């Protein structure tokens, strides 16, 4: 049986993480991706509110309909958390009502992933300016997750975040290795990360949750088809084992 998790992905950045994860998750998982429209590529609150507005999401959802997804994910962190807890839930609900399948977003996936791992204290290493990052901290708080330390790297656009290479992503993660934190969260689906999660966890000695990783995890969870994957960090190793009874 094949499960199809449809991705609504804004613009271009690290969309190649998804075919990579589809490959390593193995037969029976499809991750078709539709690029949603972007007004202004900027890590600014007003631009992000425009990025995540209903018209863009529903247009993307309609384009995804032909793939017959079992679940749809709004694969964007900042374009969901700037709407707040209720706003992020509303985004998912609108997509769900349009396509009649479960839907969620990257921001909500971070909360669900932390809860699944029993995490209550995390550090956040963000690509965004601090005023944007604070919206993510607020959303995590609504999910019962305390941010012990926040580092914001003030990268102005998603396109520039997508240019960070392995060394850049490792440096980003190391920039906020808070001793108090049980895990490091690295938001931004424009940031490449899927190939380096195990390396990040080895370097930091704790779980690392990244945007594209948690997006796929949440989609599979909502579809009831989580499976272990040694290449995608503690999140997939621990929670998939529990869900499959292993």
How far apart are the C-alpha atoms of 32 and 209, rounded to whole Å? 22
Dump pLDDT digits (tens) for 215-243. 999 999 999 999 889 999 999 998 875 54
Bridge partners for 146 per DSSP: 121
pLDDT on residue 153 = 80
If you count them, how many residues does the chain have?
246
Fold adopted by 3-106+212-244: Rossmann fold (3.40.50)
CA distance 246 to 240: 8
pLDDT in tens, 18-55: 999 999 998 899 999 999 999 877 788 888 888 899 99
The two domains 3-106+212-244 and 109-211 share their CATH topology (first three levels equal) = yes
Predicted local distance difference test score (pLDDT) of residue 156: 67
Contact (CB, 8 A) for 23 and 47? no
- Which of residues 129 and 87 earns the better pLDDT score? 87
Q: 189 near 212, Cβ under 8 Å?
A: yes
Would you call 173 helix, strand, or coil by DSSP? helix
Q: Positive or negative, the Cα torsion across 216, 222, 228, 233?
A: positive
Residue 227: per-residue pLDDT:
86
pTM over 0.85: yes
pLDDT beyond 50 at 116: yes
Mean pLDDT of 73-102: 96
What does the domain layout of the chain look like in residue ranges? 3-106+212-244, 109-211
- Report which of residues 245 and 240 the model is more confident about: 240
Alpha-carbon gap, residue 85 to 107, rounded angstroms: 9
pLDDT in tens, 183-203: 999 998 988 999 999 999 999
Indicate the class that CATH gives domain 109-211.
Answer: alpha beta
pLDDT value, residue 145: 97
The pLDDT value recorded for residue 39 is 82
């Amino acid at each position: 049986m094949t499960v199809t998790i449809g991705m609504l992905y804004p613009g271009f950045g690290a969309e190649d993480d998804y075919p990579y994860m589809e490959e390593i998750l193995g037969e029976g998982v499809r991750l078709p991706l539709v690029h949603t429209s972007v007004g202004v590529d900027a890590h600014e609150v007003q631009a992000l509110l425009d990025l995540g507005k209903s018209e863009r999401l529903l247009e993307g959802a309609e384009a995804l309909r032909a793939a017959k997804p079992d679940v749809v994910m709004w694969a964007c962190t900042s374009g969901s958390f700037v709407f707040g807890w209720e706003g992020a839930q509303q985004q998912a609900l609108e997509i769900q009502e349009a396509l009649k399948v479960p839907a969620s977003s990257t921001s909500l996936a971070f909360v669900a992933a932390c809860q699944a791992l029993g995490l209550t204290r995390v550090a956040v290493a963000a690509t965004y300016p601090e005023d944007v990052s604070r919206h993510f901290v607020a959303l995590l708080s609504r999910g019962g997750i305390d941010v012990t330390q926040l580092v914001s790297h003030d990268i102005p656009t998603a396109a520039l975040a997508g240019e960070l290479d392995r060394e850049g992503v490792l440096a980003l993660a190391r920039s906020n290795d808070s001793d108090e934190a049980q895990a490091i969260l690295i938001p931004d689906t424009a940031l490449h990360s899927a190939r380096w999660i195990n390396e990040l966890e080895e370097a930091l000695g704790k779980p690392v949750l990244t945007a594209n990783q948690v997006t796929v995890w949440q989609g599979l969870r909502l579809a009831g088809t989580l499976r272990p994957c040694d290449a995608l960090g503690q999140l997939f190793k621990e929670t998939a084992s529990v869900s499959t009874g292993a």
